[in-house]
Amino acid sequence: MNNYISVRDILKTPDFKNFEVLAGNSALDNEVTSITIMDSPDPFPWSKGGEIVLSSGYVFKKYEDEFDDLLVKMKDAGIVALFIKVERYFKNIPMHILELADQIGFVIVNVPIEMAFKDVINPTLSRIVDIQSEAIKISERVHDNFTQLVINGDDTSTIVDVIGQIFKENICYYDQYFDKLYYKNKVILCDNKEKLKEINILLGEKSTYKIGPNRKIYGYIIFLDIDKDIEVEDLYNTLSHANTALILDTQKKISSMQIEDRHKNEFIHDIIMNNIKSQVEVEARAKVFGWMFTNNIRAMVIDIDDFKEQYLKIYKNDQSAQVLNDELENIREHMLNDVIRIVKSYYISSVYAILSDSIIFLLQSDREEDREKSHLLACGKEVRKSTRENYDFTVTIGVGEEKTSIVDVHESYKEAQMSIKIARVIFKKNAYMLYSELGVYRVLYSIYENEDVKSFCDSKIGSIVDYDRKYDSDLLDTLINIAENDWNLKTTAEKMYMHYNTIKYRYKKICSILAEDLSHSEARLSIGLALKIYQMNL
């Protein structure tokens, strides 16, 4: 569906039946935007691309030694063809010039000597104006069609169907935002690895057109019969109108979804904050969203590591920083959507709430304990792997205990939060922790904010903290690493990428400042507990 006129089309003009193509047959389908007369050897500065140059041949005869150079310059300037009256000044165009034109893809046409320039220019311009006028009419008609679709509130399937009819092409639309594929009035949910793999193959092999505003991508129109290396430039004018319609359609769905998500978030927030006191209230509110809480239920919290820190590094009052902020927000949105998709593939009836840089899932299951632990572990492993590989971020996951009633799930949420906090003390980031496997840390968590406990912590490692603050050293970090590596100085040196003697020296310094003999197990236990309490209070 070409909306432009080519050199080939121009040559089909009845008055041009005696024109002869001498070279450049491979370039006959290049677009023509205008025609002009060449009467000097430097017509290139004014060229905008797509021109046919009409010449008596005088310039080329006068500068015959530079003919090949002029040809290349015309090609580089975007000129698509040379219409020349060969017999006026030449007997024949030199063979090496014709061979060069074939090589670089530049059309040379012999114009009969008796034809006046106006008899060439007027029909050519008339053809160009006619095709441009028709293109405008088509564009207006397409614009009206899509505008009417949006006004009428037609769904995505209808819009995609109209696009296919207009193009007379076999197309589908992959809605990346909602993970859906629209094809021949069918809607296919792409919420598993196999479907997403098929989509990625299509995107890699077929010609596509991105749908979305500015830098955002909502989806792709995929031309199923057009290979990747074939351009669809001639469709772009019409596609721009399709883009507008699909953007409006997507934004309408996003807006509706955001309103519903806000109400869902408020409901789940009330559940985990223990603001709902009766099973009857839960069931009534859940019914609005089509939810049912019938099985044992637990909370799982997935929190993006260091996201706030990265966000706060960027100052919003700077224009370039605002762009980075937008990109970071876009990454967060896609990352959380991927997390939701993965968890939903393991727990199809799960419900969730998004809180800034974390997601709270309420998971229902009727599996036996061992099978359920394996299932949770597999889900957490896939979430962490996907986030790390696709977004260069990590997440920490905390999982609370199962509760028999939804009104008690706020306790599971607190357990999941505790699991995340303790997991970060032990593993720093990219961790997965079940509340049931916290062991002694559950005891520490219940007392770490107690003033007597803080006093104990200060009495054991306060001198090291003060020393670091006074001398701007990092002995506390070294001590933490030594304790985490089971008090093995050699292993600590390897993990910290330091010389063994450096760690050995620091260890002696630490023992001196603490006035402790850290070779004794009791001293190590006390210092180890103090370090963990200190880290939990950071």
pLDDT over threshold 70, residue 395? yes
pLDDT score recorded for residue 302: 96
pTM here? 0.54
* pLDDT for res 446: 74
Provide the 8-state DSSP code for 364: E
For residue 486 the two structure tokens come to: 């089971």
Which of the pair, 78 or 214, is modelled with greater confidence? 78
Q: Which of 3-12, 488-497, 523-532 has the lowest mean pLDDT?
A: 3-12
Residue 536 has pLDDT above 70, yes or no: yes
Find which of 122-131, 172-181, 445-454 is predicted with most confidence, using mean pLDDT.
172-181
What end-to-end distance do the CA atoms of the chain give, in Å?
A: 65
273-440: what fold? Alpha-Beta Plaits (3.30.70)
416-471 pLDDT tens trace: 998 998 888 777 789 999 999 887 777 777 777 788 888 999 999 999 999 999 99
Q: Sign of dihedral through CA atoms 99, 105, 110, 116?
A: negative
In this predicted structure, what is the pLDDT of residue 1? 45
pLDDT of 325 reads 64
Average pLDDT over residues 165-174: 82
Q: Report the distance separating Cα 199 and Cα 190, nearest Å.
A: 8
State residue 128's pLDDT score: 81
What value does the mean pLDDT take over residues 392-409?
93
Contacts for 198-204 with beta carbons within 8 Å, 24 or more apart? 199/174, 202/172, 202/174, 203/174, 204/228
Q: Which of 1.10.10.2840, 3.40.50.300, 1.10.150.310, 3.55.50.30 would CATH assign to domain 448-536?
A: 1.10.10.2840
Rounded CA separation 360/362 (Å): 7
Question: What mean pLDDT is reported for the chain?
Answer: 85
Query: Which of 113-117, 171-175, 281-285, 325-329 shows the lowest mean pLDDT across its residues?
Result: 325-329
**5-128 carries CATH number 3.40.1390.20:** yes
| Residue 241 or residue 496, greater confidence | 496
477 C-beta neighbours (distance < 10 Å), count? 13
- Per-residue model confidence (pLDDT) at position 249: 84
Write out the H or E segment, with its range, that includes residue 433: strand 432-434
Q: pLDDT value at position 44?
A: 61
Residue 367 pLDDT greater than 50, yes or no: yes
Residue 239, pLDDT above cutoff 90: no
What residue ranges of the chain are covered by domains with CATH 3.40.1390.20?
5-128
Banded pLDDT at 136 (limits 50, 70, 90): low
- At 62, which amino acid appears? K
pLDDT of residue 165: 78
Of 231 and 483, which is predicted with more confidence?
Answer: 483
Q: Where in the chain is the domain with CATH 3.30.70.270?
A: 273-440
322-364 pLDDT per residue, tens: 555 667 777 888 889 889 989 998 998 899 999 878 999 999 9
